[in-house]
Amino acid sequence: MTEVTADPHMTEARVQALREAINRHNYLYYVLDRPEIQDFEYDRLYRELVELEREHPELITPDSPTQRVGEQPVKEFPQVHHPIPLFSLDNAFNEEELLAWEKRALRILAQEGIENPALEYFAEIKIDGLAVSLVYEKGLFKHGATRGNGVVGEDISQNLKTIRGIPLRIPVNGGPSPDYDVEIRGEVIMTRESFLRLNEEQHLKGKSEFANPRNAAAGAIRQLDSRITASRNLDALFYGATIITEDARRRPADDLQAGLHPTSQQESFNYLERMGFKTNPARKHCWNLSEVMDFIHHWDEARLALPFATDGVVIKIDQLHYQTLLGYTAKSPRWAVAFKYTPEVCETRVLDIEFSVGRTGVITPVAIMEPVLISGSTVQRATLHNFEELAKKDVRPGDAVRVQKAAEVIPEVIEVVLAKRPESANLPVQPPTYCPVCNAPAVKLEGEVALRCPNHSGCPAQVLRRLEHWVSKGAMDIDGVGPALLEQLINRGLVESPTDLYRLTVEDFLTLERMAQKSAENAYASIQKSKEQPLWRLVNALGIRHVGQETAVLLAEHFGSLNRIAEASLEELTTLEGIGGKVAESIVVFFAEPGSQQLMVDLQTLGLRIEDSTVNKPAAGAQIFQGKTFVLTGTLPTLGRQEVTELIRAYGGKVSGSVSKKTDFVLAGEDPGSKYVKAEKLGVTILHEQDLLSMVREAES
Ligand code: IVH
């Protein structure tokens, strides 16, 4: 510990020197991965600074390295308006699609009067993390935010500061002129190594494991207590920097002239590095698409050795002035495209084949495997879909299998590696004769491949799955009543059908294991509250075969009451657009089943909302577009014209066909037409789909 000097200037100078030293060592360690001192030496410097700041709190500055972890959890994350919207990227899945992207760029540039431009490219690995945007005001870290809806994100500054590689101040000589504010873009990631370590810890603590590094990073960055975030070992890699000028996409002329501002994506990386940011390491300038393809092929293999997960390559036109000319569609830049890799394949071993019983009694073979990390997540179960498929693939316990998983898609066994089948291998797996859960004789319905347990109301597995579906997010969305709780309720004989849930009392919950008064009351309350859910949720919750969320909305909207849906004939149902013969039949069959009449009576007596004419209409009072006239132009890729029109109407607005002085807003999509030009001329406010959505969201919150 240093002697505390009496001279305040000396103290201040020492504090300053310590900060500089700590920042430098942070940079060497976290950004360059090239530490120059031992951990204990670093700790000594850090402790000295903490001590001095404790004695002289007036010397604490927001960019001091001691300010990285907040001492108090926050209540919520405030919203931030992004200075420049965060767009998404169009995908290309093969070389032809990449060529088509280039062709479009050339066509647009030709329209701008640029014939045969010498396009250069910049290829970067696509980082599979969470997009973040950091804003530095005159060099000082101001805030950092999640992508959110692209226009408005959540302010997660305190959590981002815990990532030591993120500078709290940009050095004056490295970045933009000191008067400028700059926005930095990148991805927050968790390395595979940190992910595996975290999951091991979670497992030891009996907590649930994360499916993949991306989810783990998302969980960590959205913690209200930054001390937890700090313990999760997050990292961040950056790929973009833009000076915030009034017209967000214009580059500052003076900095450009002074050679301070990059003119290409390649230079942007040097710029970022001069400012002290850790950058995407897998990147290359390419003179043509053939070099780009080489890069893509190289990293398809090599990416597996990268410390973080990737799902493709982002290809950008390198020259920033061409980027500016190419501009954006409503949702993505025309100057960039994401090449997506085909899913990763891994080999593992089958430990067992389990028969799982679903909500409708279908028995499905599932391969239980030695855990492997594929496409960023740990996989140990893969459905084999049905017994025909199982016979075809002939997967047996003990077999080596090749497994694949596309990002966000269910893992799948591709094939058995026969050469590796152990000599002692079991015989082919036979379909079960009895339900593995309730022992009822399994049946096969005519014309179906599926094997079923016919014990609809008595099989505990079916009952559980139906209840799980009932409480799920897309159905009645009953918070705090999860699978474990449902299982207990079933085992105690308290619940057999969804309607039983509504008959439970607080005392019933108190009889369960580890259930305190407060949680019992909460579970009871959220079940009761779900009675108010809109009709479409109830229709979806019923679990009618082939009726998902979309059809449920359609039915609720058209009929407005459960009884009317139940009475609808096959003909009437098929007249609805979006409902085919198979779906209609399944609806009719469902309501003709003997138990259905009783169910309808029960739902009504229990007070669930079986009539509802307000589907998708906002609560009265949210008429934010009252008296406003909108004109739509171009393709609206997210919602489509129909939905946008309905949305505007639902909130009190009008949609008209042509632009005039009376038009309040023009909603512009991709390739907008002459209405766009006219709107600009008349000074009518131009919105994009995302703006509309965030206005609506704001009004609703
Ligand atoms: S450039 C205007 N480069 O992918 C959008 N994005 O699917 C330009 N991403 O929102 C984005 N790695 O969060 C770019 N090397 C990279 C990237 C990358 C990951 C993310 C980014 C973007 C999303 C689009």
684 lines ligand 1 (CB under 6 A): no
pTM: 0.57
Q: What is the largest CA-CA distance in the chain?
A: 93
Q: Which residue has the tokens 């893509």?
A: 296
Q: Which of 82, 86, 89, 146 for a ligand 1 pocket mutation test, highest count of atoms within 8 Å of Cβ?
A: 89
625 lines ligand 1 (CB under 6 A): no
Ligand 1 atom nearest 186 alpha carbon? 13
Predicted confidence at residue 204, as pLDDT, reads 63
Predicted confidence at residue 376, as pLDDT, reads 65
pLDDT above 80 (res 616): no
Q: Give CA separation, 212 vs 59, 274, 313, 407, 449, in Å.
A: 42, 32, 20, 10, 33
Q: Which residue has the tokens 């849930």?
A: 501
Q: Which residues have a catalytic role annotated?
A: 126
Segment of 224-228, 249-253, 288-292, 354-358 carrying the highest mean pLDDT: 288-292
Mean pLDDT confidence for 439-456 = 86
187 lines ligand 1 (CB under 6 A): yes
Residue count of the chain, please give it: 701
Task: Quote the CA–CA distance of 104 and 332 in Å, as a whole number.
Answer: 14
Specify burial of residue 174 (Cβ count, 10 A radius: 0-12, 13-18, 19+).
Answer: middle
280 lines ligand 1 (CB under 6 A): yes
The DSSP annotation for 228-281 comes to: HHHHT--EEEEEEEEE--SSTTPPPHHHHHTT-S-SBHHHHHHHHHHTT--B-S
Name the pLDDT band for 192 (thresholds 50, 70, 90): confident
Cβ atoms of 154 and 146 within 8 Å: the answer is yes
Name the pLDDT band for 701 (thresholds 50, 70, 90): low
Task: Report CA(89)–ligand 1 centroid distance (Å).
Answer: 7
Q: Token pair for residue 668?
A: 């512009």
Q: Which of 129-143, 539-553, 592-606 has the lowest mean pLDDT?
A: 539-553
Query: Which of 668, 674, 562, 550 shows the shortest CA–CA distance to 611?
Result: 562
Task: Report CA(324)–ligand 1 centroid distance (Å).
Answer: 17
Three-state DSSP class for 405?
A: strand
Residue 63 CB partners (closer than 8 Å, separation 6+): 19, 140, 141, 168, 169
Task: Report CA(88)–ligand 1 centroid distance (Å).
Answer: 7
Three-state DSSP class for 464?
A: helix
Query: Which of 82, 81, 88, 84 shows the shortest CA–CA distance to 670?
Result: 88
Name the pLDDT band for 198 (thresholds 50, 70, 90): confident
Predicted confidence at residue 17, as pLDDT, reads 95
Predicted confidence at residue 407, as pLDDT, reads 43
Q: Which of 314, 315, 340, 688 for a ligand 1 pocket mutation test, highest count of atoms within 8 Å of Cβ?
A: 314
Q: Which residue has the tokens 């399944």?
A: 586
Predicted confidence at residue 464, as pLDDT, reads 93
* Predicted confidence (pLDDT) per residue in 128-177, tens digit: 999 999 999 989 999 999 999 888 999 999 999 999 999 999 987 777 87
Looking at the DSSP bridge assignments, the partners of residue 144 are: 134
